[in-house]
């Protein structure tokens, strides 16, 4: 079966294959990519991922620049139904999917998912096209890895050291300008203390401002600068490497400008620049890399990647002048390659069933249609996508579990989202409605907590008692809601463990203040494995007794890109008089009743946290099991491609030996074309092809020198084609400034 590809859309089949890859990635990674680009659209001083927005445009630019090379390799005929390209492609696809599934079982699911995208795209490219297309598309594919910055916890130690270097550089710059600034170390993080008038204002240079994270993101532009340069590989690698210190220095300059703007124009102007400065750094940094590469390293900057017009004219004129007078003329049907209309020898190459002109390298045929083998590959990819969509559905269902809700909430984004925590840190309870009350930031500051959140369990199906003096049934709904009996529950999240009695007893006595009067202080059993602390007391100078019941849980919570273990203190608190008024205990002296009531409320909460902990432990067990089996699974996946690669190498070596045998039995006149190619290979710099390759024209020139005969380029084309069919030579598409050029290489050298 073949779908013809003709008319005004000669590359439909190639576009369909590319669309299949894009759709497969979109279906598998839709939720992850939505999060990545949603976060990238947040423009703030703390967001270092805005550069992600330019990645699609950079990929489009690279593909457009490489389009002729991609097309030239995409239309190459397939030698066999199942190729080494297919084995490697399937192996990479399998590796990406295993990485995806493995990542789904960890707390870093999105990071693993994003890192598997380049592997999957590379595998699908090799499977639907070939390894040569993959080789020319690999740069665009590798850029996809920049969709996810490295985890912050892996870089935190380096960032801590670099923050001091950045602060020192910024201090030197500000002093050079004339500002009174001093680097202080008493604040923990380095702080630039600026004197303005009689006041002093500290500017902290913490890990986010160290320059490490922004430098890693902006190194993408150093990579692009190295890509558009033309020169030796080592020079382009140097261009990429020097991008890191350049962007780091620019970050120190950025800090200096932010402080200078604050000093000169005030906080609003400074904050406005702070929010945009991370993205602004990309322009001067990239220009500096290009200037250094061009002036110091001697590379050539090429934005289009195409060979110059003078070189094209030279190539065309040399081919035309080398043709004999009796060469067949051709109308030069428009191809899809680098030479536009082609040359007068394109018709001969087309009659020889060549997809590239053997003389001018013009692409003769549009991309081949979608045959049965391509349809089979589409069907296989559909099965893969369907399987991964199923995995995603299971994962989404798992994410709705209680443990995933706890682990997926980003604590760094809690400001303004406190109400979203309802149902995360505390469960719903029969007969009660869970409400968010307030956040105690004073306690957070004093105890250095990540969050101190207060909730209410409100009794349902309650009506205010009737009164002779007023009609409670006519009370406003909001007032009636506030009058409903309730009990307060606090959730305090921190790295340490601060006990209730420490605040009421230990700390006051240590500083010489009166302590609370203890009515009851003991450990009580919540369940068979856990205890809580029950504490009833009266504060100094007060008459109302209070009662609390608290315990700690320890779980990993999400902080940006990293997960960190935190202690979660759960506290039931109320005045005994309030408990009595709401009917939860007999009277305000019923301490035993308060204990029993708290325990009745605490047990379902403790069951909730037991389920969370067990699920996280089960997830950890599965993760450890998968981690242990992961090398075996990946080894099994790599084995078929490895064995096929060994077989291909053995077949290649055998073909080389057979070619040498054929060459040794040739007559002297028949060897001339091979000898001419070997000699032309050693001089293969005329068309920038590099040593070891030769064009048809170069072979013709060497053949004339070797034999003393003037032959037409058509004869050379036929000789080389026959030699290729005998296995003595092979034809290769090489790139010159991203333009496809057909070259020849001997197999007997």
Tell me the DSSP string of 368-428.
PPEEHHHHHHHHHHHHHHHHHHHHHHHHHHHHTSHHHHHHHSBGGG-TT-GGGGTTTSS--
DSSP 563-587: EEEEEEEEEEEEEHHHHHHTTSSSS
Residue 733 has pLDDT above 50, yes or no: yes
State which of 148, 180, 207 marks the end of a domain: 148
- By the 8 A CB rule, do 535 and 501 touch? yes
Whether residue 185 is found in the same domain as residue 266: yes
pLDDT of residue 490: 93
The pLDDT tens digits of the residues spanning 592-605 come to 999 999 999 999 99
From 471, 439, 436, 440, select the one nearest 455 (Cα to Cα). 436
Q: How many structural domains is the chain composed of? A: 4
Q: How far is CA 482 from the centre of its chain?
A: 47
Sign of CA dihedral 242, 243, 248, 249: positive
More confident residue, 665 or 630: 665
Backbone angles phi, psi at 119, to 5 degrees: -65, -45
For residue 711, being part of any structural domain is answered with: yes
Report the range of poorest mean pLDDT among 11-20, 23-32, 542-551, 677-686: 677-686
For residue 28, being part of any structural domain is answered with: yes
DSSP 326-364: TPPP------SSSSTT--TTHHHHHHTT-SB-TTT--B-
Cα distances (Å, whole numbers) of residue 668 to 350, 663, 715: 30, 10, 18
Taking the CA of residue 75 as centre, how many other CA atoms within 13 Å lie in the half-sphere pointing to its CB? Answer: 26
Whether residue 559 is found in the same domain as residue 669: no
By CB atoms closer than 10 A (0-12, 13-18, 19+), residue 496 is exposed
Whether residue 699 is found in the same domain as residue 589: no
Whether residue 30 is found in the same domain as residue 134: yes
DSSP 231: S
For residue 375, being part of any structural domain is answered with: no
Cα separation of 349 and 112, whole Å? 48
Pairing of strands 451-459, 531-538: unpaired
State which of 252, 280, 301 marks the end of a domain: 301
- By the 8 A CB rule, do 494 and 465 touch? no
Whether residue 480 is found in the same domain as residue 545: yes
Angle in degrees, CA 390, 391, 393, rounded to 5: 65
The CATH number for 707's domain is: 1.10.10.10
The pLDDT tens digits of the residues spanning 559-584 come to 776 677 888 999 999 999 999 988 89
Beta-carbon count within 10 A of 252 CB: 23
State which of 148, 179, 207 marks the end of a domain: 148
Whether residue 49 is found in the same domain as residue 168: no
From 572, 566, 522, 568, select the one nearest 550 (Cα to Cα). 572
Whether residue 134 is found in the same domain as residue 186: no
By CB atoms closer than 10 A (0-12, 13-18, 19+), residue 471 is exposed
The pLDDT tens digits of the residues spanning 424-453 come to 899 999 889 899 999 998 888 888 888 999
Cα separation of 546 and 704, whole Å? 107
Cα separation of 99 and 115, whole Å? 8
Sign of CA dihedral 158, 164, 170, 176: negative
For residue 48, being part of any structural domain is answered with: yes
From 247, 186, 188, select the one nearest 212 (Cα to Cα). 247
DSSP 517: E
From 563, 411, 577, select the one nearest 492 (Cα to Cα). 411
Residue 318 has pLDDT above 60, yes or no: no
Cα separation of 40 and 18, whole Å? 25
The pLDDT tens digits of the residues spanning 161-215 come to 677 888 888 888 888 888 888 887 665 567 788 888 777 787 777 666 666 767 7
What confidence category does residue 747 fall into, taking pLDDT thresholds of 50, 70 and 90?
Answer: confident
Element housing 633 (H / E): helix 591-664
Cα separation of 414 and 420, whole Å? 8
- By the 8 A CB rule, do 352 and 721 touch? yes
Whether residue 448 is found in the same domain as residue 547: yes
Residue 339 has pLDDT above 70, yes or no: no
Region 634-649 average pLDDT: 75
How many Å from the N-terminal Cα to the C-terminal Cα in the chain?
41
For residue 360, being part of any structural domain is answered with: no
Taking the CA of residue 633 as centre, how many other CA atoms within 13 Å lie in the half-sphere pointing to its CB? Answer: 15
pLDDT of residue 308: 46
- By the 8 A CB rule, do 749 and 678 touch? yes
Q: Which residues 6+ apart lie within 8 Å of 144 measured at CB?
A: 55, 59, 117, 118, 121
For residue 661, being part of any structural domain is answered with: yes
Cα distances (Å, whole numbers) of residue 29 to 118, 236, 269, 399, 579: 12, 33, 39, 16, 51
Q: Where are the alpha helices (DSSP H) in 665-710?
A: 668-682, 696-707
The pLDDT tens digits of the residues spanning 414-425 come to 888 888 888 889
Residue 367 has pLDDT above 70, yes or no: no
From 5, 227, 29, select the one nearest 124 (Cα to Cα). 29
DSSP 746: E
Angle in degrees, CA 624, 628, 633, rounded to 5: 125
DSSP 694: B
For residue 451, being part of any structural domain is answered with: yes
Whether residue 37 is found in the same domain as residue 169: no
Region 228-245 average pLDDT: 88
Q: How far is CA 74 from the centre of its chain?
A: 28
Domain that holds residue 34: 17-148
For residue 316, being part of any structural domain is answered with: no
What confidence category does residue 311 fall into, taking pLDDT thresholds of 50, 70 and 90?
Answer: very low
Sign of CA dihedral 446, 448, 451, 453: negative
pLDDT of residue 338: 46
**The pair of three-digit structure tokens given for residue 599, joined into one six-digit string:** 């325990």
Whether residue 583 is found in the same domain as residue 672: no
What confidence category does residue 729 fall into, taking pLDDT thresholds of 50, 70 and 90?
Answer: confident
From 99, 171, 689, select the one nearest 388 (Cα to Cα). 99
Whether residue 591 is found in the same domain as residue 727: no
**The pair of three-digit structure tokens given for residue 740, joined into one six-digit string:** 């496809």
From 553, 551, 557, select the one nearest 404 (Cα to Cα). 557
Backbone angles phi, psi at 667, to 5 degrees: -70, 160
| Packing angle, helices 282-295 and 233-265, rounded to 10 | 140
Report the range of poorest mean pLDDT among 4-8, 240-244, 360-364, 732-736: 4-8
Whether residue 621 is found in the same domain as residue 603: yes
Residue 522 has pLDDT above 70, yes or no: yes
């Amino acid at each position: 079966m073949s779908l013809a590809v003709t008319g005004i859309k000669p590359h439909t089949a190639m576009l369909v294959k590319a669309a299949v890859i894009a759709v497969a990635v979109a279906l598998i990674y839709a939720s992850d990519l939505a999060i990545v680009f949603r976060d990238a659209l947040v423009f703030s001083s703390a967001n270092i991922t805005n550069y992600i927005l330019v990645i699609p445009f950079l990929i489009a630019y690279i593909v457009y620049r490489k389009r002729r090379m991609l097309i030239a390799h995409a239309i190459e005929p397939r030698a066999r139904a199942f190729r080494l390209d297919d084995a490697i492609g399937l192996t990479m696809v399998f590796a990406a999917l295993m990485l995806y599934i493995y990542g789904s079982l960890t707390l870093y699911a999105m990071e693993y998912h994003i890192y598997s995208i380049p592997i999957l795209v590379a595998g699908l490219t090799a499977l639907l096209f070939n390894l040569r297309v993959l080789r020319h598309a690999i740069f665009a594919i590798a850029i996809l890895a920049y969709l996810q910055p490295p985890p912050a916890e892996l870089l935190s130690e380096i960032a801590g050291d670099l923050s001091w270097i950045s602060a020192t550089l910024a201090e030197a710059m500000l002093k050079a300008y004339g500002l009174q600034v001093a680097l202080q170390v008493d604040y923990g993080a380095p702080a630039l203390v600026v004197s303005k008038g009689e006041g002093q204002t500290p500017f902290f240079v913490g890990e986010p401002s160290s320059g490490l994270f922004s430098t890693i993101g902006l190194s993408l532009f150093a990579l692009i600068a190295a890509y558009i340069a033309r020169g030796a590989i080592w020079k382009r690698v140097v261009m990429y490497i020097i991008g890191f210190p350049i962007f780091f220095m620019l970050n120190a300059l950025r800090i200096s400008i932010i402080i200078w703007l604050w000093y000169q124009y005030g906080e609003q102007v400074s904050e406005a620049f702070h929010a945009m400065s991370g993205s602004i750094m990309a322009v001067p940094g990239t220009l500096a890399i290009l200037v250094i590469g061009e002036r110091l390293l001697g590379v050539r900057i090429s934005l289009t990647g195409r060979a110059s017009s003078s070189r094209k004219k030279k190539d065309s004129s040399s081919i035309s002048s080398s043709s004999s007078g009796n060469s067949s003329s051709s109308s030069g049907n428009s191809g899809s390659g680098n030479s536009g209309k082609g040359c007068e020898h394109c018709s001969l190459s087309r009659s020889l069933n060549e997809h590239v002109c053997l003389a001018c390298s013009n692409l003769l045929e549009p991309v081949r249609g979608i045959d049965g083998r391509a349809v089979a590959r589409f069907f296989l990819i559909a099965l893969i996508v369907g399987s991964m969509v199923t995995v995603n559905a299971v994962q989404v269902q798992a994410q709705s579990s209680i443990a995933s809700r706890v682990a997926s909430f980003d604590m760094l984004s809690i400001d303004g989202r406190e109400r979203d925590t309802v149902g995360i840190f505390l469960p719903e309870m029969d007969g009660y409605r869970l409400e968010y009350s307030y956040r105690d930031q004073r306690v957070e500051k004093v105890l250095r907590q990540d969050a101190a959140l207060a909730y209410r369990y409100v009794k349902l199906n309650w009506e205010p008692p009737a009164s002779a003096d007023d009609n409670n049934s006519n009370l406003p709904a909001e007032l009636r809601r506030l009058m409903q009996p309730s009990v307060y529950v606090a959730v305090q999240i921190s790295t340490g463990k601060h006990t209730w009695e420490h605040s009421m007893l230990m700390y006051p006595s240590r500083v010489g203040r009166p302590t609370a009067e203890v009515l009851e202080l003991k450990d009580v059993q919540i369940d068979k494995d856990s205890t809580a602390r029950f504490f009833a007391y009266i504060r100094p100078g007060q008459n109302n007794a209070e009662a609390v019941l608290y315990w700690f849980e320890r779980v990993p919570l999400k902080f940006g890109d990293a997960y960190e273990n935190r202690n979660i203190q759960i506290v039931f608190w109320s005045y005994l008089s309030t408990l009595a008024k709401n009917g939860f205990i007999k009277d305000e002296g019923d301490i035993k009743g308060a204990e029993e009531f708290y325990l009745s409320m605490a047990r379902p909460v403790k069951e909730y946290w037991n389920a969370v902990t067990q699920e996280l432990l089960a997830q950890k067990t599965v993760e450890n099991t998968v981690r242990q089996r992961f090398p075996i699974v990946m080894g099994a996946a790599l084995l078929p491609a490895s064995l096929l690669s060994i077989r291909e190498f053995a077949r290649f070596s055998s073909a080389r030996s057979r070619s040498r045998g054929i060459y040794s039995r040739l007559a002297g006149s028949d060897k001339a074309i091979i000898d001419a190619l070997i000699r032309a290979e050693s001089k293969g710099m005329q068309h920038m092809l590099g040593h070891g390759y030769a064009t048809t024209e170069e072979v013709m020139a060497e053949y004339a020198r070797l034999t003393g005969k003037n032959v037409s380029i058509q004869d050379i084309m036929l000789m080389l084609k026959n030699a290729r069919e005998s296995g003595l030579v092979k034809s290769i598409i090489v790139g010159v400034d991203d333009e496809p050029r057909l070259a020849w290489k001997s197999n007997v050298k």
